[in-house]
Amino acid sequence: MEKISATELVFYQKLGELFYAIAASDKVVREAEYKTLTQIVEERWKQIDDYEDQFGSDAAYQISIVFEWFDYEQMDADDCFTSFSDYYMEHKSLFSELRKNLILNTAHSIAEAFAGTNKSELIMIAKLELLFNKH
């Protein structure tokens, strides 16, 4: 594994912020959403890149760490989505088609994790798809 740059580290942290926004869009983050995210990070995100953070852990774990921290802090889902959108607009080169597809698949999986996708989650995912398709 190679050491990750600050830019790539923030990329994974912003993904955690985005996935938290999806899960928290209905004002409640459920255990099933945590479990789904953890499983996808382990099975899919770790396979995408070969980066490790300053502690020698796979950088993809930053996704789960930020997700959990934002839930602990009860961050506003809309603010988190806006922050992710701003980051995306400034760093489009980091978002390959492979990464965008995995982001969308992860977002859908989180939304489906507890009793199917609700209206708030559906709206947030539609905004994400629009962001990716428009820019």
CATH number of the domain where residue 130 is located:
1.10.3680
What's the pLDDT at 21? 98
pLDDT tens readout for residues 66-98: 999 999 999 999 999 999 999 999 999 999 999
Give residues with Cβ within 8 angstroms of 94, minimum separation 6. Answer: 7, 8, 11
pLDDT at 50 over 90: no
Averaged pLDDT score across all residues of the chain: 91
Instruction: Identify the CA nearest to 98 among candidates 47, 42, 33, 43.
Output: 47
pLDDT tens readout for residues 21-36: 999 999 999 999 999 9
Residue 45 sits in which domain range?
Answer: 2-134
What's the pLDDT at 47? 87
pLDDT at 64 over 90: yes
As a whole number, mean pLDDT of residues 3-13 equals 81
What's the pLDDT at 3? 58
What's the pLDDT at 57? 72
- As for how many domains the chain has, the answer is 1
Question: CA-to-CA distance for 23 and 3, rounded, in angstroms?
Answer: 30
What's the pLDDT at 83? 98
Q: Is the pTM of this model over 0.85?
A: yes
Question: What whole-number percentage of the chain has pLDDT above 90?
Answer: 76
pLDDT at 58 over 80: no
